[in-house]
Structure formats: C-alpha cells, structure tokens
C-alpha cells in the first residue's frame, strides 16, 4: 500500500494541495488604518500652521485678555482689578469718540471700496487697451508696505508742501487744511485708504467675474437686457460670494487700521482722526497703561468677531433659502 501510494504521489507530482486564494492575498489597510493615515497627513500639514497661530495669535490674545483684568504698566508686578478697566471704558469720552470715528471710517470706506473695486473689475474684465498695465498700477499699493503708502499720502496731502495743495495754488484755488482741520484730515485718511484697498477688491472681484459663464450674458442680450440690467441682475448676484468675503475682510481691516492714520495724522488734529487702535497704542506705549490698552484691544476683537459671525450666519441663511 505504501509503495502504491508513493507511486501515485510521484505520478501526480506533489503531496500538498494547491494554495488557496486567501493564502496568497495581501491584506490591504482597513478603513481605520486609512483614517489614521489621513489624520496623520492632515496633522502634518496643519501642525506647523497651528503652532504659529498658537504662538503668535492665541497666546498673545489670551495674555491680553488676562492683562485687561489687571493694572499693569508693563514693568514690575501687576495687581488684579477685575472689571475696572472695562468700567472705565464706559465712562471714557475719548474711547467713545475713537469708537465713533472707527464706525464712521468703516461705514464710509467699506461700501466705497466695494463699489469702486467692482466697477474697476468690470472695466478691467472688458476689452480695454493696456488693461494688464492698469491692473498692476491699481494693485500696486497693496504690494507696498502700509507705512510706505502712508508716506505717499503725506506727500500728497501735506498742508504746506503736499502735491494736492500745490496744484490748488497753481490753479488759483484755496488750499485745504489737511492737517489742521478735522474733517479735511479725516477725508485725507479715507482717500488714502481707498487707494490702498481698491486694488485688492478689484482683484477678488475680477476672479469672480472670470468665473461667470459668458453664455449667461449672451442669453441676457438676446432677451433684450441692457448693460445696466445685465450688471444689476447678473453681475451683482453672481459675485455675491466675492462680496461676502470682501465685506468681512474690509470691515476687519477698517477696525484694525493703524499705520495710515498714525503716519498721516497721528490721530489729530485733536481727536478727529483717532480710532480704537491708535487710542489703544497711545495707552499702551505712550502713557504705559497697558492693562487699559489690552481692554480696548479685547473690545476691538469682540466687535469684529460678532460682526463676522453675523455676516457668516446671514450668508448661510441666504444660501439655504436660495
């Protein structure tokens, strides 16, 4: 029997059964493994940014929040005063004047920069000779530092040697007291701010316009829509996401404006151009009342946070209804 069995095994060539597919299959990573890999990759990309945000944003913000409940000049020990700095804000007339100036500055610059940016974007999106050069020139103030553009504003609006007043004198017109009269000083700051911000708004709107299908305008023209009707009922609604983004960015910029006002007017004459950030700087680095300056900074942060949350919620509600 054993000899016959050996002969049969030799005739068949092997005593082992053929390997099953399960034995040769290489197991792939499971769903949990893939999720771990994705989480690790996301952490690798986000980690450096989160570290930078923590060190340069969240940590200073938390430190400012802590200082706002203390009495500190930046030197030596500080004492805990609770809400005293915030109660002081309520009764401080300079704070309220700076807040009103900030609100007026925001209400003027934000709609104006949005309207000018959209108008320039529509113009630059059309067949205009030399439009690439014009785009560069309009966007150039955003590339230059804020201090440099503010110094250019000083060259333009200086009351004694500025280019604008020189042109007015050469034309036989009365000069404008850009530094000695509050309304004129405020207007000069607004004009320079618009010069700085319009280029950025134009670029964002231009990107939005180039994402609109030309067939929509062709269909509107076939239906007899005028240029204004196409702008009103096609362009404005379709660049809504760009408007939402720019609205938030411009409001945040307006509440945080500092370098232009600091270089051009220093918050004067009087307090006519003083805004919340310049007033916080004055308290923190001139009078060395850093706890009060921190309280002003926290108020600025809360105002911008509330406005952004309201706009975000309103935009989501609009998209849901649409």
> 82 by DSSP, 3-state: which?
coil
pTM tops 0.85: no
| In contact, 217 and 237? CB cutoff 8 Å | no
The most confident of the ranges 37-51, 75-89, 121-135, 240-254 is 240-254
Per-residue confidence (pLDDT) for residue 109, from 0 to 100: 96
3-state helix, strand, coil in the chain (%, to 5): 75, 0, 25
In the predicted structure, residue 25 carries a pLDDT above the cut 50: no
Per-residue confidence (pLDDT) for residue 35, from 0 to 100: 82
**pLDDT-wise least confident of 166-175, 205-214, 307-316:** 307-316
Per-residue confidence (pLDDT) for residue 261, from 0 to 100: 95
Cα 264–chain centre separation: 23
**Rounded Cα gap, residues 147 and 262, in angstroms:** 9
The most confident of the ranges 71-80, 86-95, 140-149 is 86-95
In the predicted structure, residue 53 carries a pLDDT above the cut 80: yes
Assigned CATH for 92-321 = 1.10.3720.10
* Residue ranges covered by each domain of the chain: 92-321
**Rounded Cα gap, residues 317 and 322, in angstroms:** 9
Strands (E), the chain: 70-71, 79-80
Q: Tokens at residue 149, please? A: 């553009």
Per-residue confidence (pLDDT) for residue 85, from 0 to 100: 93
Please count the helices (runs of H) and the strands (runs of E) in the chain.
17, 2
pLDDT tens-digit map of 173-213 = 999 999 899 999 999 999 999 999 999 999 999 999 998 99
Per-residue confidence (pLDDT) for residue 40, from 0 to 100: 83
Q: What is the CA radius of gyration of the chain?
A: 32
Per-residue confidence (pLDDT) for residue 32, from 0 to 100: 74
């Amino acid at each position: 029997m054993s000899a016959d069995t050996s002969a049969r095994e030799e005739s068949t060539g092997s005593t082992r059964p053929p390997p099953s597919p399960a034995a040769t299959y290489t197991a792939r990573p499971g769903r949990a493994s893939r999720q771990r890999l994705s989480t690790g990759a996301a952490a690798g990309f986000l980690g450096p940014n989160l570290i930078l945000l923590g060190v340069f944003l969240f940590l200073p913000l938390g430190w400012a929040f802590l200082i706002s409940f203390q009495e500190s000049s930046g030197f030596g020990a500080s004492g805990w005063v609770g809400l005293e700095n915030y109660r002081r804000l309520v009764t401080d007339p300079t704070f309220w004047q700076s807040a009103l100036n900030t609100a007026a500055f925001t209400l003027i610059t934000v709609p104006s920069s949005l309207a000018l940016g959209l108008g320039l974007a529509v113009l630059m999106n059309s067949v205009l000779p030399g439009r690439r050069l014009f785009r560069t020139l309009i966007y150039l103030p955003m590339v230059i530092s804020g201090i440099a553009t503010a110094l250019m504003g000083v060259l333009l609006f200086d009351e004694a040697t500025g280019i604008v007043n020189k042109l007015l004198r050469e034309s036989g017109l009365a000069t404008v007291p850009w530094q000695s009269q509050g309304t004129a000083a405020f207007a000069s700051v607004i004009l320079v701010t618009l010069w700085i911000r319009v280029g950025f708004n134009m670029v964002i709107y231009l990107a939005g316009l180039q994402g609109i299908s030309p067939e929509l305008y062709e269909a509107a023209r076939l239906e007899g829509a005028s240029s204004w009707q196409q702008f009103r009922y096609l362009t404005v609604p379709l660049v809504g996401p760009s408007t939402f983004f720019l609205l938030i960015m411009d409001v945040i910029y307006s509440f945080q404006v500092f370098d232009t006002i600091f270089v051009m007017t220093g918050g004067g004459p009087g307090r006519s151009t003083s805004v919340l950030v310049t007033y916080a700087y004055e308290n923190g680095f001139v009078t060395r009342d850093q706890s009060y300056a921190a309280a002003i900074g926290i108020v600025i942060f809360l105002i911008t946070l509330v406005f952004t949350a309201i706009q975000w919620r309103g935009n989501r509600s609009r998209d849901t209804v649409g």
